């Protein structure tokens, strides 16, 4: 048997402000750092050797993974960073307060933008400072690959393409991925064969490791390590 551990980053600065974050590269709050350390303790208690470590390009995921590695006392391990594991891009909603947008557009429309399978928000203007082309983190990514907006379907396609090419082949080893709500949601859809209606309702808690156990590269079991904050849509 082998294990894949998926961890959404700890609480970010914009999570705490209830803002649409997407590709903007904000860091963890003090509480987010504590969540990451708690995730590390939970993973440490598994007493398993992890061979591969992946994160997105975004510092809230990278720093979550670094805090986990420090907690489980793993040093000098290479973190494989992939922009394909980034959060979904929220288009023109980027940087705006979620409650304010609900008041402006209505809860149903904002839910559609946040959780529907194939409806993206309107694109973000390329001159906006929050556009990926204007964020130093993404300087080495070809401009044509930088999104202006994304649906969950768009996010799924880039995440799963990367997973199939770069991660899936290593499932005979134990793997840890630190990523984001929607990139992890995409992985859950793929791994658990979830339909579009269920995936729109799937909640991914911050800093709570999801342990997926494989037998001959087939999913056998999945559970959150922090049962007090576990979500119940994934059942085996």
Active site residue 131: no
Q: If you count DSSP H runs as helices and E runs as strands, how many of each does the chain have, helices first? A: 8, 6
Q: What is the DSSP letter of 18?
A: T
Catalytic residue among 3, 9, 89, 180: 9
Nearest to 23 by CA among 54, 56, 55: 56
Torsion of CA 33, 204, 234, 34, to 10 degrees: 10
Active site residue 168: no
* Distance, first Cα to last Cα, the chain: 16
Query: What are residue 221's DSSP bridge partners?
Result: 213
CB 185 within 8 A of CB 191: no
Residues 6+ apart with CB under 8 A from 211: 3, 5, 46, 222, 223, 224, 225
Catalytic residue among 35, 84, 87, 92: 87
Nearest to 56 by CA among 94, 7, 93: 7
Question: Which residues form the catalytic set?
Answer: 9, 87
């Amino acid at each position: 048997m082998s294990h894949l551990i998926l961890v959404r980053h700890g609480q970010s600065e914009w999570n705490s402000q209830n803002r649409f974050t997407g590709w903007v590269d904000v860091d963890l709050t003090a509480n987010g750092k504590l969540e990451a350390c708690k995730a590390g303790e939970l993973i440490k208690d598994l007493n398993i050797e992890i061979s591969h470590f992946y994160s997105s390009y975004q510092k809230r995921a990278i720093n979550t993974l670094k805090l986990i590695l420090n907690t489980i006392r793993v040093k000098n391990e290479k973190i494989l960073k992939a922009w394909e594991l980034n959060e979904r891009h929220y288009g023109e909603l980027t940087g705006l307060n979620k409650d304010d947008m609900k008041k402006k557009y209505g809860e149903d429309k904002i839910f559609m933008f946040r959780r529907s399978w194939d409806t993206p928000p309107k694109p973000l203007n390329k001159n906006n400072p929050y556009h990926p082309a204007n964020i130093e983190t993404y300087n080495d990514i070809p401009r044509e690959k930088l999104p202006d907006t994304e649906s969950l379907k768009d996010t799924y396609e880039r995440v799963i393409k990367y997973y199939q090419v770069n991660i899936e082949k290593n499932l005979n080893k134990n793997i840890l991925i630190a990523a984001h709500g929607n990139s992890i949601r995409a992985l859950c859809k793929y791994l658990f064969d979830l339909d579009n209606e269920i995936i729109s309702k799937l909640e991914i808690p911050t800093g709570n490791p999801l342990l997926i156990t494989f037998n001959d590269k087939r999913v056998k079991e999945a559970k959150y390590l922090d049962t007090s904050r576990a979500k119940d849509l994934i059942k085996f």
